[in-house]
Amino acid sequence: MKDTEQKFSKTTIVLHWLVALAMISLIAVGTYMEQTETYALYPIHKSFGILIIIAVLLRVVWRMLNGWPKPVGAVKKVEQLAAKVVHWVLIIGTVLFPISGMMMSGAGGRGLYVFGVELLAKNTDPVTGKVAPLNETLAGLGYEMHGILMWVMIAAIALHIIGAYKHHLVYKDNTLKRMLGRG
């Protein structure tokens, strides 16, 4: 089923909330584990971070096939434009976050694991036995991207949530309801 002005398809709703929940949780866990140096959380963060790519890519394909949702009712042009920009930032951010994480860990020589299942082996220096980066530039770029994305995505998510509530509480329209499946 395609999305309509009244009702969103199950696919849109399930993918939106699955990716939204994962993003918010991974941003919270990522920030917490880095600030407090809780290394036990790293493999959990990375495993979920890698797995969520499946839902993220399905969602991108679904958006390309289905188009973007049409605004509900009469919304100011400038707000429509703001929503569009924020939606693009959010969807691109959901793709770049896991990719930059994998660049940081994979190219950094730490390997890629999903709950212990090896996707890319760790690279150790045969002499020192320490982790050796496969490509330092790529790993550094991944690290920088991951850090920048954190700020960009926190800002975009905040604007997005404010927008959703403005529709719900000020315009009192169907925008939030149709994403909750109660269109």
109 belongs to the binding site for ligand HEM (CB under 6 A):
no
51: nearest Cα among 91, 19, 92, 14: 19
For every residue of the chain, DSSP letters joined together read ----SS---HHHHHHHHHHHHHHHHHHHHHHHHHHHT-GGGHHHHHHHHHHHHHHHHHHHHHHHHH-PPPPSS---HHHHHHHHHHHHHHHHHHHHHHHHHHIIIIITTS-EEETTEEEE---B-TTT-SB--S-HHHHHHHHHHHHHHHHHHHHHHHHHHHHHHIIIIIS--SHHHHHTT--
162 belongs to the binding site for ligand HEM (CB under 6 A):
no
Between 124 and 148, CB nearer to ligand HEM: 148
Residue 112 CB, nearest approach to ligand HEM (Å): 6
Residue 93 CB, nearest approach to ligand HEM (Å): 6
User: Site for ligand HEM (CB under 6 A): which residue of 18, 91, 92, 120?
Assistant: 91
107 belongs to the binding site for ligand HEM (CB under 6 A):
no
Residues 30-59, interacting with ligand HEM (CB under 6 A): 30-31, 34, 42, 45-46, 49-50, 52
Between 109 and 157, CB nearer to ligand HEM: 157
Interface ranges with ligand HEM (CB under 6 A): 12, 16, 19-20, 23-24, 26-27, 30-31, 34, 42, 45-46, 49-50, 52, 63, 69, 71, 83, 87, 90-91, 94, 97-98, 101-102, 104-105, 112, 146-147, 150, 157, 160-161, 164, 175-176, 179
